[in-house]
Amino acid sequence: MSDTAKIRVGILGASGYTGADLVRLLVTHPNVEIVLLTAERKAGLPLGEVFPHLVGYDLPDMIALNDIEWSAVELDVVFCALPHATSQEVIKGLLHATGHSLLDELIVETPADLADSVQSEVKVIDLSADFRLRDVDTYAEWYGRVHQAVDVQKRAVYGLPEVYRNAIKDAHLVACPGCYPTAALLALVPLFKAGLIKTEDITIDAKSGVSGAGRSLKETNLFVEVSEAMHPYGIGNHRHMPEIEQELSIAAGSDVRISFTPHLVPMNRGELETIYVKMGASQTAADLKGALVSFYEDEPFVTVLEGAAAPATRMVRGSNNCVLNVFEDRIEGRAIIVAAIDNLVKGSSGQAVQNMNLMMGFDETTGLLQAPMFP
Amino acid sequence: MSDTAKIRVGILGASGYTGADLVRLLVTHPNVEIVLLTAERKAGLPLGEVFPHLVGYDLPDMIALNDIEWSAVELDVVFCALPHATSQEVIKGLLHATGHSLLDELIVETPADLADSVQSEVKVIDLSADFRLRDVDTYAEWYGRVHQAVDVQKRAVYGLPEVYRNAIKDAHLVACPGCYPTAALLALVPLFKAGLIKTEDITIDAKSGVSGAGRSLKETNLFVEVSEAMHPYGIGNHRHMPEIEQELSIAAGSDVRISFTPHLVPMNRGELETIYVKMGASQTAADLKGALVSFYEDEPFVTVLEGAAAPATRMVRGSNNCVLNVFEDRIEGRAIIVAAIDNLVKGSSGQAVQNMNLMMGFDETTGLLQAPMFP
Amino acid sequence: MSDTAKIRVGILGASGYTGADLVRLLVTHPNVEIVLLTAERKAGLPLGEVFPHLVGYDLPDMIALNDIEWSAVELDVVFCALPHATSQEVIKGLLHATGHSLLDELIVETPADLADSVQSEVKVIDLSADFRLRDVDTYAEWYGRVHQAVDVQKRAVYGLPEVYRNAIKDAHLVACPGCYPTAALLALVPLFKAGLIKTEDITIDAKSGVSGAGRSLKETNLFVEVSEAMHPYGIGNHRHMPEIEQELSIAAGSDVRISFTPHLVPMNRGELETIYVKMGASQTAADLKGALVSFYEDEPFVTVLEGAAAPATRMVRGSNNCVLNVFEDRIEGRAIIVAAIDNLVKGSSGQAVQNMNLMMGFDETTGLLQAPMFP
Amino acid sequence: MSDTAKIRVGILGASGYTGADLVRLLVTHPNVEIVLLTAERKAGLPLGEVFPHLVGYDLPDMIALNDIEWSAVELDVVFCALPHATSQEVIKGLLHATGHSLLDELIVETPADLADSVQSEVKVIDLSADFRLRDVDTYAEWYGRVHQAVDVQKRAVYGLPEVYRNAIKDAHLVACPGCYPTAALLALVPLFKAGLIKTEDITIDAKSGVSGAGRSLKETNLFVEVSEAMHPYGIGNHRHMPEIEQELSIAAGSDVRISFTPHLVPMNRGELETIYVKMGASQTAADLKGALVSFYEDEPFVTVLEGAAAPATRMVRGSNNCVLNVFEDRIEGRAIIVAAIDNLVKGSSGQAVQNMNLMMGFDETTGLLQAPMFP
């Protein structure tokens, strides 16, 4: 593909904050043309009416999912920023509708009406939780429903580039990690891979800005309820737990069970995780730090801070960066790892674009090199 | 003392946020007349010039510490809201200057110039850290200096009314707990007393509004640095750790070592602690909650929330209340306790007034029954 | 009435922010017992479930309006914090239901079923806009509907104590001013009464915290939309305009037409108005300030700041105070008046309590002397 | 100049918020290499230590002004983000030090030590107020000091590209407008040029985020003082007034005197101006809007909103955009114009980069097409 050729991109679910941040990143991506935006309640509107900060960009009006003509729109990449559960239905449907080659390997009988069509190769990048959990029983347990696209799920690649870069390059369907898992896994996977920390008593105390709760109308998201206030939520039962445990268990080579408690903080963006771990015998915080430095040496978006600098969300605001550091705990044999990301960028839309770059053979950092915005 | 008689109260260090909140609470206290306010850089000014929200109250102008005539001012109670280290010097000095009876028991030779004076009984309520640590070596280790008023320190009572109510009633000098220790101790002391939790692996992840950092001019306290941002600080070395450990060790009857990590959150007031503990064999989160409910049954300022309601700082804003709740941890054998206070009230000035009420024989809740301010 | 006797108070519409702030102020009012709270969607719940900061107070559960038994509840005072339009229907209904003496003077035929009942004297304090406009045509024009309680409206007194104190003392129905009108009128009425400013080109640029928008679920009130942002709204058509004009015209003795533009500011509470006026020939800003100082000399809740101190919302947070100051404008012949109030207190619930105190013969400041909360 | 060639850029005063935002914009500018950064108190540090969000970029360490070797550094462009008064001295000095051709026309005797040097052509973009005022007496009146570089001042071009584009292209020294003047002039210059509004009674009520106050340590900039609060400042005497008047007078062709009142709002970035004007006879708000639409038709960074949409700061956060709209005022013959910009971008660093693009012959929008960041 030439430097200037542009791929045709669609965003399903463009009227939420994740959709807005995808558009923010993609309108300056040199290889992308946005040709499809969907929304349900706000179908028919230009995006600039729903997000006035995007007035003036040359973007298609939003249409309802049911009004998409898959054959006509000829997408190269679909970002799916739909709610959980909806996502699996829609992705399954679009694979069928486009006679996707991915299905050939999965389904014995290709639908008759697709028999003659040319097999498409649209790449799907899902930002929902629908394809993150490898085990469908775990999915059923935590999401309270049977998975409706099990075969498709099996083909999904977990979209954490720092861990699964090669698999992502070849994937047709990438399941982008949740925001909380992204920070937790970037902090812990290298340590488990290196065998430096114990699987028991992993305690993740997470803090997030409010954009993570989406644009839905809930009393708890009103300015007056959130401003000058903070509180934990989902204590002991947040759905990001099994996702974190799945990936940590793979990295550790044995079952890991974590304690994870998220908190709502009065800020728009930003996510900070303070992680308490037990080290292996004779390990030190410096050993852990060394392992992270080494693991992320060549990574464009992960920085291990020098000295005792504490990661802060203001260091990554608006950017695809993750900053990490490791500290001695006062309790002997333990260490504290702190990770900060922007929940909407590395925790969501930015990582999705990073995955797109990998899947399409672009330089991985294309369109993602904005400096963080501070102030 | 009759219902309408008023005691004469002085506030040393009135120009900080703690001083301001003391004044806020005391100007409507029916038994108090503020007759002395001190400040150094702002000596000579009316308080309303430094804190315009207090314009219009009938208050004395601030004077410098050195300009106090202790014999003339005839105080019943002194609140000492001075910086650490300064506090011990000033309190020692005022005890001498007033020929305080507390000193008789401590000092063999009464200063000659006090020989004929009537012994005063001024009550001192210190809001600094100077008299909180019982062990002077621990003080020296964490504060980097030798304590200058060791004898006085021995007479100080730790001002957590829910634990030391009776001792406070008889005390001449009360050392008010730090804001972080207040929340941590209210959450944990009853559990240690009841033998329900283990002494190892106590992990306290604390979050505080910015007023806790005081009114000093530091770059890190500027609006632009704090707003839309959060970060941990003092990781592994915050001075509230030995204070928490001291009191938990007393409650547990054996040494407790904790992990404590505070975070700065973009809000003015409020403090939340998320505490991860290991339970004794066969204990459950419900047992822990039962113990807290029972311990605080008759306490006016501590509430254990019903059901799975999560404590939130907005529940206590501006009030002397503490709200608590207990949750099951996903890791077996562990529980999560969450505590919320207003760092400036129950964490500082409000608790100081509560102590004053006890020391002076007033109803403990006098002047402290303002409802929390939400929104 | 003895010092300790308590009146029976009801709050209609207790589940909004105005209701919450009424409760905050009334639970510590020494002469008040709250015996009735209503809510519609949240009927049946304890208030502490809707407003967790009010857990622990001894309050009746909320009931639906239709479930009130007016004869049984025996109220002395009703605060009506219902939405506009609803308010007039409900108040009309309660006057009938209680056989209110106010109606005798208004209605020729008393309903038969009330013929034998003793006439009640419940005092009604309405916080909606329903009874603020004296002219029913103006009401119809701005609210898009015919007033449904015209006769009752005629008996309402506009509840701005600094202007209508004596009338309020004798009123059965007080219509509390809107938050924006409160600040504007406190700033301008004395100047018009003294004939110091011109009726043309009054420009009021107003800024308000978000609690003024209420607890309703609108996208524009979400934290993420409001935080780190500000914008004007209702430009040229905000409903507080005719209310301000009505009262200024009375004060001026001739028609006043104003320009009024409100802005939404990312804070919970607080309202600031910057008002640009033309002075009469040979008048100066100092003359205007002198008139305000003189007018408010004995007022407990209005302060004209000294020198060039700029009113700030933080000076009045949580209190019933209004702070004012006057400045020279760079344009000759003009002056700038700045007013700050807490929109929920002096702009709403606090002023309602102030009115109650007047109507019931209590000291006007009872329950309203909390110092502002800063930080 | 080829597409890929990079100019050598220096930033004087890189440790303030303006400097940080210049760096944020320039590190992704395809034609720029930052080769010089200065700071005084923080000289010797890498920028990433002062602004941790900029860790990881390949930037020179900061040096003190006095340590610059002008001949060695070979700059093409200098951004001067120094404090007022300092700026004029430094710029005068650097012109001498580099033997700048600009001086040839100004100064009869070239310093001997420059006699043989090749005349440099470094372009200077000043972000201070030092070269904005054309009249040195006005400068002296408002800044309380005699201008120290009067000859240089005469050669400065006022850097508002929408008004002075051609002059900027040829300029050696551009004086970037203040943030408040930028918004005011974009709103009003076209209306004065078209003769649609009157010169009297121009009232500009401005609101700004806190980053405009810089990173200096003042009590009024502390988080606790600003959060949940707002107030006006500089009433009647803000230094941006003469600057606005200068440019409006030029546009109007006659003296314009304005009323301008800025307010501090609890947000990091963003500036909103609500401007009240009197229209010429028979003009309407629609006429004014038409004139703005026409004037800005081809402008890349100025948008006149459709319909009655109110400009909001969240529409421009982080971007170089300005959004405008016009509204009817309730007072006949008047209109309200609302303008929103990001004070650090279009109000400062972004506009400076826009000027650099013009001066260097780059496409005017290069490096400035980031979409606004919302949330």
pLDDT tens profile D165-191: 999 999 999 999 999 999 999 999 999
Contact C316 B20 (CB under 8 A): no
Cβ contacts of D354 within 8 Å, gap of 6 or more:
D161, D301, D320, D364, D365, D368
Picking from A28, A228, A344, the nearest residue to D370 by CB comes out as A28
D46: exposed, middle or buried (C-beta count within 10 Å: 0-12, 13-18, 19+)?
middle
Burial D243-260 (b: 16+ CB within 10 A, else e): bbbbbbbbbbeeebbbbb
The answer to whether the beta carbons of residues D241 and D260 sit under 8 Å apart is yes
What average pLDDT does range A49-73 have in this prediction? 93
Least Cα distance to C303 among C288, C318, C286, C315 occurs for: C315
Per residue in B241-259, pLDDT tens? Answer: 999 999 999 999 999 999 9
Contact A223 C226 (CB under 8 A): yes
Picking from D28, D309, D373, the nearest residue to A24 by CB comes out as D373
Pairing of strands B7-12, B32-38: parallel
Q: Is residue D112 pLDDT above 70, yes or no?
A: no
What average pLDDT does range A293-305 have in this prediction? 98
Contact D314 A375 (CB under 8 A): no
Q: How confident is the model at residue A105 (pLDDT cuts 50, 70, 90)?
A: low
What pLDDT shows up at residue C3? 53
Q: Is residue A170 pLDDT above 60, yes or no?
A: yes
What pLDDT shows up at residue A112? 45
Q: Is residue A109 pLDDT above 60, yes or no?
A: no
The answer to whether the beta carbons of residues A274 and A329 sit under 8 Å apart is no
Q: Is residue D47 pLDDT above 70, yes or no?
A: yes
Q: Is residue D115 pLDDT above 70, yes or no?
A: no
Q: Is residue B77 pLDDT above 60, yes or no?
A: yes
Residues of B in contact with A231 (CB under 8 A): 272, 310-314, 340
Residues of C in contact with D311 (CB under 8 A): 231-232
Which H or E run contains B345?
none
What average pLDDT does range A155-166 have in this prediction? 97
Q: Residue A296 gets which letter from DSSP? A: T
What average pLDDT does range A213-223 have in this prediction? 94
Q: Is residue A169 pLDDT above 50, yes or no?
A: yes
Q: How confident is the model at residue B105 (pLDDT cuts 50, 70, 90)?
A: low
User: Which of B 162-201 lie inside 8 A of A, CB atoms?
Assistant: 200-201
Nearest C-alpha in A relative to C209: A224
From the CA of B366, how many Å to the nearest CA of chain A?
26
Higher pLDDT, residue A103 or A135 = A135
**Cβ atoms < 10 Å from Cβ of C296:** 18
What pLDDT shows up at residue A117? 45
Structure tokens given for C110:
């008393």
Structure tokens given for A120:
């498409």
Which H or E run contains B179?
helix B179-193
Per residue in C8-21, pLDDT tens? Answer: 999 999 999 999 99
What pLDDT shows up at residue B118? 43
Nearest C-alpha in A relative to C52: A225
Which residue of the set C80, C176, C179, C322 is catalytic? C179
Least Cα distance to D226 among D207, D241, D242 occurs for: D207
| Residue B228, φ and ψ in degrees, nearest 5 | 55, 35
User: Which of B 319-338 lie inside 8 A of A, CB atoms?
Assistant: 327-331, 334, 336, 338
At D256, which amino acid appears?
Answer: V
Contact D201 C230 (CB under 8 A): no
What average pLDDT does range A80-105 have in this prediction? 88
Pairing of strands D271-278, D334-341: antiparallel
Q: Is the ipTM of this complex over 0.85?
A: yes
Least Cα distance to C212 among C298, C272, C291 occurs for: C272
Enumerate domains of chain C plus CATH numbers.
Answer: 7-155 (3.40.50.720), 180-343 (3.30.360.10)
Q: Is residue B62 pLDDT above 80, yes or no?
A: yes
The answer to whether the beta carbons of residues C335 and C279 sit under 8 Å apart is yes
User: Roughly what angle, to the nearest 10 degrees, separates helices C136-143 and C240-252?
Assistant: 150
User: For chain B, what percent of residues have pLDDT higher than 90?
Assistant: 89
Q: Is residue D79 pLDDT above 70, yes or no?
A: yes
What pLDDT shows up at residue A71? 82
What pLDDT shows up at residue C338? 98
Q: Could you check whether the bond before residue B60 is cis, i.e. omega within 30 degrees of 0? A: no
Least Cα distance to B188 among B175, B176, B201 occurs for: B201
Interatomic CA distance for residues C336 and A165, integer angstroms: 63
Contact D375 A312 (CB under 8 A): no
Interatomic CA distance for residues A292 and A296, integer angstroms: 6
What pLDDT shows up at residue C99? 84
3-state secondary structure of C5: coil
Pairing of strands B173-175, B202-208: unpaired
What average pLDDT does range D314-326 have in this prediction? 98
Which residue is listed with tokens 């305080």? B100
Lowest mean pLDDT among A105-119, A246-260, D115-129: A105-119
The answer to whether the beta carbons of residues A105 and A119 sit under 8 Å apart is no
Cβ contacts of D116 within 8 Å, gap of 6 or more:
none
**Cβ atoms < 10 Å from Cβ of C107:** 13
Pairing of strands D334-341, D322-328: antiparallel
What average pLDDT does range B127-154 have in this prediction? 95
**Cβ atoms < 10 Å from Cβ of D157:** 19
Q: Is residue A256 pLDDT above 90, yes or no?
A: yes
Which residue is listed with tokens 């009123």? C171
Q: Does A228 contact B at CB distance below 8 Å? A: yes
Q: Does B300 contact A at CB distance below 8 Å? A: no
Contact D259 C227 (CB under 8 A): no
What pLDDT shows up at residue C356? 98
Q: Does A65 contact D at CB distance below 8 Å? A: no
Interatomic CA distance for residues D371 and A53, integer angstroms: 8
Detail the DSSP E strand segments found in B105-227.
123-126, 157-158, 173-175, 202-208
The answer to whether the beta carbons of residues B159 and B221 sit under 8 Å apart is no
Distance, C-alpha C357 to centroid of its chain? 14
Residues of A in contact with D15 (CB under 8 A): none
What pLDDT shows up at residue B204? 98
Which neighbouring-strand residues pair with A205?
A: A261, A274
Contact B374 C57 (CB under 8 A): no
What pLDDT shows up at residue C4? 64
What average pLDDT does range C318-332 have in this prediction? 97
What pLDDT shows up at residue A118? 44
Q: Is residue A2 pLDDT above 70, yes or no?
A: no
What pLDDT shows up at residue D70? 87
Average pLDDT value for chain A: 94
Q: Is residue A59 pLDDT above 50, yes or no?
A: yes
Q: Does B111 contact A at CB distance below 8 Å? A: no
What average pLDDT does range C295-304 have in this prediction? 98
What average pLDDT does range D121-150 have in this prediction? 95
Q: Does D219 contact B at CB distance below 8 Å? A: yes
Least Cα distance to D299 among D317, D322, D278, D282 occurs for: D322
Residues of C in contact with A211 (CB under 8 A): 224
From the CA of B58, how many Å to the nearest CA of chain C?
12
Contact A211 C217 (CB under 8 A): no
Greatest Cα-to-Cα distance within chain C, rounded to the nearest angstrom: 67
Interatomic CA distance for residues A65 and A72, integer angstroms: 14
Which H or E run contains C333?
none
Pairing of strands A77-80, A123-126: parallel
D176 a catalytic residue? no
Interatomic CA distance for residues A310 and B232, integer angstroms: 6
Interatomic CA distance for residues A62 and A42, integer angstroms: 7
Q: Is residue D57 pLDDT above 50, yes or no?
A: yes
Q: Is residue D116 pLDDT above 70, yes or no?
A: no
Interatomic CA distance for residues C50 and C20, integer angstroms: 9
Average pLDDT value for chain D: 93
Q: Is residue B217 pLDDT above 50, yes or no?
A: yes
Least Cα distance to C315 among B51, D262, B45, D209 occurs for: B51
The model's pTM is: 0.96
The answer to whether the beta carbons of residues A134 and A243 sit under 8 Å apart is no
The answer to whether the beta carbons of residues B173 and B155 sit under 8 Å apart is yes
Structure tokens given for A261:
């408690």
Interatomic CA distance for residues D93 and D114, integer angstroms: 13
| Residue in D220, D222, D225, D226 to test binding to B, most B beta-carbons within 10 Å | D222
Higher pLDDT, residue D109 or B49 = B49
What average pLDDT does range C193-220 have in this prediction? 96
Nearest-5° angle of CA A113, CA A115, CA A118? 110
Q: Is residue B37 pLDDT above 80, yes or no?
A: yes
Picking from D23, D57, D371, the nearest residue to A28 by CB comes out as D371
Q: Taking CB atoms and an 8 Å cut-off, how many pairs form between chains A and D? A: 92
Nearest C-alpha in D relative to A267: D375
Lowest mean pLDDT among A89-103, A212-226, D22-36, D297-311: A89-103
Q: Is residue B99 pLDDT above 90, yes or no?
A: no
Q: Is residue A114 pLDDT above 50, yes or no?
A: no
Q: Does C222 contact A at CB distance below 8 Å? A: yes
Which residue is listed with tokens 């105390």? A205
Q: Does B71 contact C at CB distance below 8 Å? A: no
Interatomic CA distance for residues C46 and C63, integer angstroms: 9
From the CA of D49, how many Å to the nearest CA of chain C?
26
Q: How confident is the model at residue B107 (pLDDT cuts 50, 70, 90)?
A: very low
Nearest C-alpha in C relative to A229: C268
Structure tokens given for D346:
């279009």
Against chain D, the chains showing at least 3 CB pairs within 8 Å are A, B, C
